[in-house]
Each structure stands twice: as C-alpha cells, then as structure tokens.
C-alpha cells in the first residue's frame, strides 16, 4: 500500500550497509570547535566594522532580550542575515588561480559526465527533478537565498528547490558514523566565527550532485570549508575550498559574491512551475 509515499534515504538499512561498505576511508570530521570571538569583536568599532555594517540590512536593528529567541549580532560585520542574490551565473565553476586540478580518475569521470549529459543518458536531476544542487553548485545558483541567524545557528534557505542548510554554531560535527551513512546533498555542516568571517566546514556529501552545471565530479569523500564575510554593508563573499582526493590532486577554491536585496521576498519553488525572472542575472541562459 502506498501509505508512505516518499521513501527517504534513511529508510533502508541495506542501503546504509552498502554505503558503509562502499566507503574506503574514514572521513575526518571537520571540527567545529572554533572559539567564540564575539566578545573581542564587539569591542572593535573601527573603520572595518563601519564599512562592513554600513548597509541597510533588513535586520540591522535586532530587538529582544538577552537569552531570548532573537539573535543579536555583536557587530554589524557579523550580521549576515538577509536576502542575498548573485549578480552573475556561470555554468562552469570558476577555480581561483587556474583550472580544476583533476586527477586521473577525476578527469575520466568528468569526461563521462559531460558525454552522458550531452547524449541524455545522464539527467541533470537538480534541474529536471529539482533535487538539491549540493555544495558548491548551490552557491552559484542564479536565484536569491536568505541567511537566517538565530541563537546558536545560521540557516541558509535557498529559493531554488527550497534547499535548507541548517548550520549549528560552535558545535562538534555529527558523528563519524552519521557522516558515513547519512549522506546528504548539502552535506553536514558546522560553523564558527573567525574574526568577521563565518567559517563553515562540511562533510558527509552524497555522490548524486555535480560541482557545477557542466558535470564536474566529486566523490562522497569531499569535504569543504567556506569562508563567508561581508565585503561592505551590502556585499557578501563566500570563498569555498574543496578537498576531494578521489577526484583532485590538491585542494582548490572558488569564490562567490552576493548583493543584499532587502526588497526581495523569497518565493515558493515547485518543479516545473513558472518561477522568478532571473534573466537579469549575468550569464543566465534561459532555455527556449
């Protein structure tokens, strides 16, 4: 009977067993034990903080009582809440300082992916079935997203495919066992502040996503570190470093930049429906 309509990935212990068996290495859990620098940063009132917080963010004036439900950033530079939107889109991920450092296996996999996407034997499920794009592909998507800061957590809510990344602050990564068996499109993330930079460490990715729209590959051994900071009151930067020895000869990085859009409200997103006009985002080609 069809009572349980959606069969989610955790449903099958057999699948989990295969997932464990297929992993050849222990993923080193990215630690999330960064110190809280809030107190020190709160004392910083120099030009950097002014520059970083000078914009008209929608949550520049948090209210609430200490210990209450509303998070009050200790510095405008650490208030990254709001709706952000990239100004440009590139189907191919841009590697800082060069090209993808693919190893032999990575080169072969990339070639296979490109060929199969072209001849249709491989579907880009993120676009056709609207499953999550995964990290880092979601970082470059041409739809707006919202960052929500609450006590002890930063949550990324993307309009595209209504992807949600809830990221605990100053908490340890989930257990090594969970990283082995509960493989997520968006991985498992933890974060901490280093100065005015939010550092997000992620592991436990599934292998169902590409790194970009061209089919750049990764394995489930991939780990990522994102360094997110405000460049000024209305601009946010996310520099992500990707480590995946199964596909690449060395770690590499890519950079994404977003503008604050307090006038934008995220919209519902259901696959196959008409969605927001993204034609103004540079690089977007809307298929005819």
Partner 1 sequence: MTRSALLLGMIFGGLAWPMLAVSETGPAQTIPDFSGGWDRIGDLLETFEAIPGHPGAGPLLVDPLHPHVNQSRDLTWAPALDNPILKAETLAKLRPIAEAEIRGIPHIKDEGHCQPSGVPGLLNVRGGLIELLQTPAQVTIIHPVDQQVRRIYLDVPHSQNPGHTWYGESVGHYEGGDTLVVDTIGLNDKTQTDRFGTPHSDQMRVVERYRVAGDHQTLEVQFTVDDPGAFTMPWSARVRFRARPANFTEQICAENNRFVGLVFDGGKATTSVYTPTAGKPDF
Please report, as ranges, the residues that interact with partner 1 according to CB under 8 A: 1-3, 5-10, 58-59, 61-65, 68-71, 81, 89, 124-125, 127-132, 142, 146, 148-151, 153, 155, 157, 161-164, 166, 182, 184-186, 208, 265-268, 270-273, 275, 278, 284-287
Taking the complex as a whole, how short is the minimal distance between the CB of residue 101 and partner 1, in angstroms? 27
CB atoms within 10 A of CB 153: 15
Taking the complex as a whole, how short is the minimal distance between the CB of residue 122 and partner 1, in angstroms? 14
Taking the complex as a whole, how short is the minimal distance between the CB of residue 41 and partner 1, in angstroms? 20
Nearer to partner 1, 21 or 61 (CB): 61
Residues 6+ apart with CB under 8 A from 92: 212, 213, 214, 216
Distance CA 27, CA 218 (A): 14
Do 70 and 79 form a contact (C-beta atoms < 8 A)?
A: no
Do 84 and 261 form a contact (C-beta atoms < 8 A)?
A: yes
Nearer to partner 1, 31 or 68 (CB): 68
Nearer to partner 1, 63 or 250 (CB): 63
Q: To 10 degrees, the CA torsion angle through 232, 155, 45, 65?
A: 140
DSSP 8-class letter at 185: S
**Separation in Å, CA 151 to CA 67, 72, 189, 272:** 8, 8, 16, 36
Nearer to partner 1, 141 or 254 (CB): 141
Distance CA 276, CA 253 (A): 30
Nearer to partner 1, 188 or 192 (CB): 188
Tokens of 62: 């948090």
Nearer to partner 1, 71 or 196 (CB): 71
Taking the complex as a whole, how short is the minimal distance between the CB of residue 98 and partner 1, in angstroms? 26
Do 222 and 244 form a contact (C-beta atoms < 8 A)?
A: yes
Taking the complex as a whole, how short is the minimal distance between the CB of residue 287 and partner 1, in angstroms? 5
Nearer to partner 1, 140 or 217 (CB): 140
Do 144 and 266 form a contact (C-beta atoms < 8 A)?
A: yes
Distance CA 201, CA 67 (A): 26
Taking the complex as a whole, how short is the minimal distance between the CB of residue 106 and partner 1, in angstroms? 24
Taking the complex as a whole, how short is the minimal distance between the CB of residue 156 and partner 1, in angstroms? 11
Q: Which residue shows structure tokens 């495919």?
A: 161
């Amino acid at each position: 009977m069809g009572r349980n309509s959606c069969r989610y990935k955790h449903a099958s212990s057999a699948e989990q067993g295969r997932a464990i068996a297929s992993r050849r290495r222990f993923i080193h859990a990215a630690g999330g034990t960064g110190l809280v620098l809030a107190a020190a940063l709160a004392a910083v009132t120099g030009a950097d903080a002014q520059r970083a917080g000078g914009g008209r963010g929608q949550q520049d004036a948090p209210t609430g009582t200490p210990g209450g439900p509303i998070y009050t950033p200790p510095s405008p530079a650490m208030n990254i809440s709001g709706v952000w939107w990239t100004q440009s889109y590139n189907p191919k991920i841009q590697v800082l300082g060069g090209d993808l450092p693919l190893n032999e296996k990575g080169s072969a996999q990339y070639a296979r992916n490109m060929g199969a996407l072209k001849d249709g034997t491989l579907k880009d499920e993120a676009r056709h079935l609207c499953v999550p794009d995964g990290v880092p592909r979601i970082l470059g998507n041409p739809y707006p997203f919202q960052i929500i800061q609450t006590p002890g957590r930063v949550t990324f809510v993307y309009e595209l495919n209504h992807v949600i990344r809830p990221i605990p602050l100053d908490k340890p990564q989930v257990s090594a066992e969970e990283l082995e068996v509960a493989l997520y499109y968006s991985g498992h993330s933890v974060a901490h502040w280093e100065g005015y930079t939010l550092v997000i460490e992620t592991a436990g990715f599934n292998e169902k996503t590409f790194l970009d729209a061209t089919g750049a590959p990764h394995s489930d051994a991939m780990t990522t570190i994102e360094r997110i900071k405000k460049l000024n009151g209305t601009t946010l930067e996310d520099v992500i470093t990707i480590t995946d020895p199964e596909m690449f000869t060395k770690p590499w990085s890519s950079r994404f930049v977003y503008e604050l859009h307090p006038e934008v409200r995220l919209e519902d997103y259901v696959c196959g429906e008409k969605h927001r006009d993204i034609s103004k985002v540079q690089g977007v080609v809307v298929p005819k």
